[in-house]
Amino acid sequence: MQISLNGVRVEHDRARGSWMLAGLALLLGTAFVVAPVWLAGGGHGEGFFGSAALTRAVGDNFVAFWNTGDTAVPTGMNDLVQYWTRYHVAKAVLSGLLLIVLTVLAVRLWKPTVNSAIATRRRRMAGMAGATATAGGFGAALLLMANVQGAVAPLSSLLSVVPSASDDPAVGRVQAQVEQQLRTGDTSRPALARMVADFGTYHAVLAVAALVLACVAVGFSVVIGRSFVRTPRLDRATRRTTALASACLAIVGIGVIILAAANIGNAIEPAHALLLFYAG
């Protein structure tokens, strides 16, 4: 009876810990959406659905930035770039914390699935919960990558929120000039030279981050694959779980490697990549 009670107590503590981690993940996810504006301190109101005020400010300052003849970024544009850097740093920190929490939660949830002493129904429920946490962790990793990219190369990230040509004709005229000069290969204009260099950095950062994520995914795939090999053939449930997890991680790793390769190409030829961006 004492052993049984101890087992129940351990399971209760494990379940409570998992629920606490899930609650913390939900809190961090909410903070990721609402907190960066306040943490960045820019007052531009950029939230999950965007901000018309920020879009207008970027459009106006993008036109001024293009028309300047200096290598320095105009004050208005520089203020926006600094705000965008702080904004993405805040989101990167929050997504990084979310990734850590979801990783710990996923490990806790996956453990019962390879314990043959636990009932099949509970193992399946743990597997579904573990898969959900794992998918969430992968999403958090992508968010971390994107926000590190935005923090390191904020100019390129910021220019992705300029208003459309139909909403702001002045922006449309500048975009047409950018495209024309990129087609001729003339990147001597200070603003364009800065944009091309920053765009190269923008893609180089994502390429490195993608390679890191690919190595992690493939590494875990190999470790879990070895666990599959060591599992007795009679333990079919554990073998199915480990085989599926290893295969999924391998597929994710291959997909991220393809993403890294594409961004390496863009980092090597940033002017061509920028032309494709403006040419649609």
Cα 98 from Cα 95, distance rounded (Å): 5
The model's pTM: 0.86
CA distances from 81 to 155, 189, 200, 247 (A): 6, 20, 17, 41
Cα 171 from Cα 163, distance rounded (Å): 7
Which pLDDT score, from 0 to 100, does residue 1 have?
44
Residue 49 phi, psi dihedral angles, 5° rounding: -100, 10
pLDDT, tens digit only, all 280 positions of the chain: 444 445 555 566 667 888 899 999 999 999 999 899 888 886 665 554 457 788 888 999 999 999 887 767 888 899 999 999 999 999 999 999 999 999 999 888 877 765 655 656 676 777 778 888 888 999 999 999 999 999 999 999 998 888 888 888 999 999 999 999 999 998 889 999 999 999 999 999 999 999 999 999 999 899 888 888 888 887 777 788 788 888 988 999 999 999 999 999 999 999 999 999 988 6
Which pLDDT score, from 0 to 100, does residue 25 have?
95
CB 148 within 8 A of CB 161: no
Residue 269 phi, psi dihedral angles, 5° rounding: -120, 70
Residue 197 phi, psi dihedral angles, 5° rounding: -65, -45
Which pLDDT score, from 0 to 100, does residue 13 have?
65
